[in-house]
Amino acid sequence: MKFFHLSVVLSLIVSSCNTNSNKDNQKMDLLYPKKGTFVKYQDEWAIDGYYNRLSEFKSDPIGDNKIVFLGNSITEGGGDWNKRFGTKNIVNRGIGGDITEGVIVRIKEIIYFKPVAVFLLIGINDIFNSDKPNRDKITESYVANNILKIANIVSKESPSTKLFVQTILPVNPKSYFKENGFFPEHTVPLPDQINNINKILKENDQLNVIDLHSTFVDAEGYLDTKYSGEGVHLNEAGYSNWANFINDKIASLK
């Protein structure tokens, strides 16, 4: 009889564990948008990459006590950021082609894990292609306000997280046209567009702003060619420059 009671108890424990595990899995599922979720102003070419990357995130969640680098392909292209700082707790949450609306849609994972810090760099893709539908609605103030919205969500839902908003990097149309000559000139953001967004961010007293733009810009207001071969994405020298510029911020979080 004792053995019978023991087996019943064990069965109940196993059943309870399975139920809790299922609940945890369901809870985790809710952190990642399902394919087909509407992302306002998202380019069609970026959709598959967006959800493929989210699948990678789902299989390897952020975890506890992490520093998150959040952004688009410029962040994603940094690869393993831990190698650049001698750390072990930095997580790359960059997605190629992502826009401010895309970050807002996927922000649940970030605030769920309540990271130690978030380094945000987003916005260039929002203004990159002036042929987008509703392009007239994607103004500089719209992009800046979306960045502020992301900051507000993080601050409200994860107040212990230290948020660093990095200014949008310049681009270099001369290099870009040379590399991608089939693109019409008006697809590339103008320096004034980038500067106006960054100005709004820098004038907000509530933000902890890192003026990343200032360390990449040349005398003409473009992305310095030593940091990029094609005028938008960074080469290794560019990533080294970025890491050096924010190294003190990372060091303060160790």
123 Cβ neighbours under 8 A, 6+ residues apart: 99, 100, 143, 144, 146, 147, 168, 197
Model confidence at 22: pLDDT above 60: no
Instruction: List Cβ<8 Å contacts ≥24 apart for 139-147.
Output: 140/193, 140/196, 140/197, 140/200, 141/200, 143/100, 143/197, 144/196, 144/197, 144/200, 144/201, 145/200, 146/100, 146/101, 146/104, 147/100, 147/120, 147/122, 147/123, 147/197, 147/201
User: Which pLDDT tens digit goes with each residue over 200-223?
Assistant: 999 999 999 999 999 999 999 999
Identify whether residues 195 and 88 lie together within a single domain: yes
Identify whether residues 173 and 50 lie together within a single domain: yes
Identify whether residues 148 and 227 lie together within a single domain: yes
Identify whether residues 76 and 183 lie together within a single domain: yes
At 137, the amino acid letter reads K
Burial pattern 49-68, b for ≥16 Cβ within 10 A else e, equals ebbebbeebeeeebeeebbb
Identify whether residues 58 and 142 lie together within a single domain: yes
Identify whether residues 11 and 74 lie together within a single domain: no
Identify whether residues 25 and 126 lie together within a single domain: no
| Contact (Cβ atoms closer than 8 angstroms) between residue 139 and residue 61 | no
Residue 97: CATH number of its domain: 3.40.50.1110
Predicted local confidence at residue 61, as pLDDT: 97
Identify whether residues 228 and 105 lie together within a single domain: yes
Q: Measured between alpha carbons, how far is 176 from 170 in angstroms, rounded to an integer?
A: 12
Secondary structure of residue 158 in the 3-state scheme: coil
At 99, the amino acid letter reads I
Owning domain of residue 15: 1-30
Q: How confident is the model at residue 147 (pLDDT cuts 50, 70, 90)?
A: very high
Secondary structure of residue 123 in the 3-state scheme: coil
Identify whether residues 43 and 134 lie together within a single domain: yes
Identify whether residues 85 and 16 lie together within a single domain: no
Identify whether residues 19 and 41 lie together within a single domain: no
Q: How many domains does the chain have?
A: 2
pTM value? 0.88
Choose among 74, 176, 66: nearest CA to 111: 66
User: Which pLDDT tens digit goes with each residue over 236-252?
Assistant: 999 999 999 999 999 99
Q: Could you tell me which residues are beta bridge partners of residue 90?
A: 67
Percent of the chain with pLDDT over 70: 84
Identify whether residues 165 and 75 lie together within a single domain: yes
